[in-house]
Structure 1
Amino acid sequence: MTDSLQSGPGTLDRIQQNFLAKAERRLLTWLCSRMPSWVTPDRLTFAGVIGAVMTFAGYVASNWGAAWLILAIIGYFVQWFGDSMDGSLARFRRIERPSYGYFIDHSCDGLVTLLILAGIGLSPFVTMDVAMVALAGYLLLSIHAYLSARVLGEFKLSYLSAGPTELRLMLIGLTIMMMMLGYGPGLFGRWSGFDIFVGAVGGLLIILFIGQTLITGRRLAHKDAGLL
């Protein structure tokens, strides 16, 4: 899925090719048409951050009982609703504020990612150092997306046919497995199976960042060579 939006001085092509993109877009459009007037994009952005705080709290509280992970799962749904609906509602109502929206939305994305992965690292299921590897991978890929938006005018929202929504669903599945399996001695020393999974995802994100950097760099080199 590719569409365009104004952001700052130019136009960005939003490239969204994840599995659920079309179905999610239909759902968001349906929801936008039914939102009461008091629901605004700013309030939805705030709701998304609150959802991340709920997820953080659920993971931290799981040190005192796995049932608290239900709060983390609810937080994911609240965060999806706020994060996915804020820009969608602004475009649906034609009340976009391109520079403000781009800046606030992605600033909040960084905070949300930190809250979620720090919460996972503070849970008894995943060590903090492994969670920080995943955080680094996600933020590196985000940096690539923001740089590409600046130099190419393209804002890529998905990689390997997966985007933020698929990632949330994966984390919800991981959280359900945490509730079912509990925690105990790791299979690989101090690292549990959950550590291995989260670390592998983080490693994959870092590899994607390196690969996309090389691809984009080559593309820009050819583009600039044509200007000489």
Structure 2
Amino acid sequence: MTDRLHITPRSLTRIQENFLASAERKLLTWLCRRMPAWVTPDLLTLLGVIGAFMTLAGYVASNLDPAWLLLAITGYVVQWFGDSMDGSLARYRHVERPSYGYFIDHSCDGMVTLLILAGIGLSPFVTMEVALIALAGYLLLSIHAYLTARVLGEFKLSYLAAGPTELRLVLITLTIMMMVLGHGQGLFGRWSGFDIFVGGVGIILITLFIGQTLVTGRRLARYEVETAASMKKMD
């Protein structure tokens, strides 16, 4: 006897206020209109993961020659295309699978983040412990987004007017600077300028997580107090 899942996905309000959101939506819609029928959202999700492996490989191979960083940059572009297009294409074709799509997409997001930041830590430009700080910050902020989706029905896709696309552009710029400047010697003991930058981004992400947790916690507490007061009046 097979188990049956009775799932009623909660409707999520997507909050996307990043700087490039409007222009990106127009570009994705344009691409969706021209996408061949054989290209499916699942295939695009897989392509996004492949892009992350390309980025990992490019960073690791840069220990041999900085020119390999071009592979990492190409991987970012491939990863953006797959990750941004999978949900957009599903919505454009009206073939959304809310529970399946949410689970698979964000599971892959976690794996992609691990691959990219592990690659940065395995490169000669950034130490692994600093890359792990950035990884922790990104995953903490992701956890906050998933928890908020559960308790408020709001899925926040951007913070400080920046989202995943802006972050990819920052990382591409960082990678170009790696190619131009090389790893050289650390500016502050064993820490290079790249370490300081990546670590700083990680600290910003962790600080955002703490701040957003406090804000959301106060919002939920106020809501539950008001709800309890309303119910008491009805009794």
TM-score for both structures, normalised by structure 2: 0.94
C-alpha contact (below 8 Å) 2:14/2:154 kept by paired residues: yes
SS of alignment partner, residue 12 of structure 2: strand
TM alignment of 1:161-172, pairs within 5 A? 161-172=161-172
Structure 1, residues 182-206: CA drift from partner, whole Å, max 9, x if none?
0121000111000000000000000
Confirm whether residue 176 of structure 1 aligns to residue 173 of structure 2. no
SS of alignment partner, residue 63 of structure 2: helix
Deviation at 1:8, TM superposition (A): 4.8
Deviation at 1:227, TM superposition (A): 1.4
C-alpha contact (below 8 Å) 2:9/2:98 kept by paired residues: no
C-alpha contact (below 8 Å) 1:8/1:98 kept by paired residues: no
**Which residue is equivalent to 1:149?**
149
* Structure in which a larger fraction of residues adopt strand: 1
TM alignment of 1:107-146, pairs within 5 A? 107-146=107-146
SS of alignment partner, residue 14 of structure 1: strand
Deviation at 1:161, TM superposition (A): 0.1
**Which residue is equivalent to 1:67?**
67
SS of alignment partner, residue 38 of structure 2: coil
TM alignment of 1:14-163, pairs within 5 A? 14-163=14-163
Aligned structure 1 segments of 4 or more residues deviating by more than 6 angstroms: none
**Which residue is equivalent to 1:202?**
202
C-alpha contact (below 8 Å) 2:13/2:153 kept by paired residues: yes
| Alpha-carbon separation, structure 2, partners of 1:56 and 1:226 | 49
| Count of residue correspondences | 222
Deviation at 1:156, TM superposition (A): 0.2
Deviation at 1:115, TM superposition (A): 0.2
> What residue ranges of structure 1 are gaps of 5+ in the alignment?
1-6
Deviation at 1:135, TM superposition (A): 0.1
Query: Taking every aligned residue pair, what percent have the same amino acid on both sides?
Result: 79
**Which residue is equivalent to 1:226?**
226
TM-score for both structures, normalised by structure 1: 0.97
| Alpha-carbon separation, structure 2, partners of 1:135 and 1:144 | 14
| Alpha-carbon separation, structure 1, partners of 2:49 and 2:10 | 28
RMSD, aligned α-carbons: 0.8
| Alpha-carbon separation, structure 1, partners of 2:180 and 2:47 | 29
Partner AA of 1:194 in structure 2: F
SS of alignment partner, residue 19 of structure 2: coil
SS of alignment partner, residue 37 of structure 2: coil
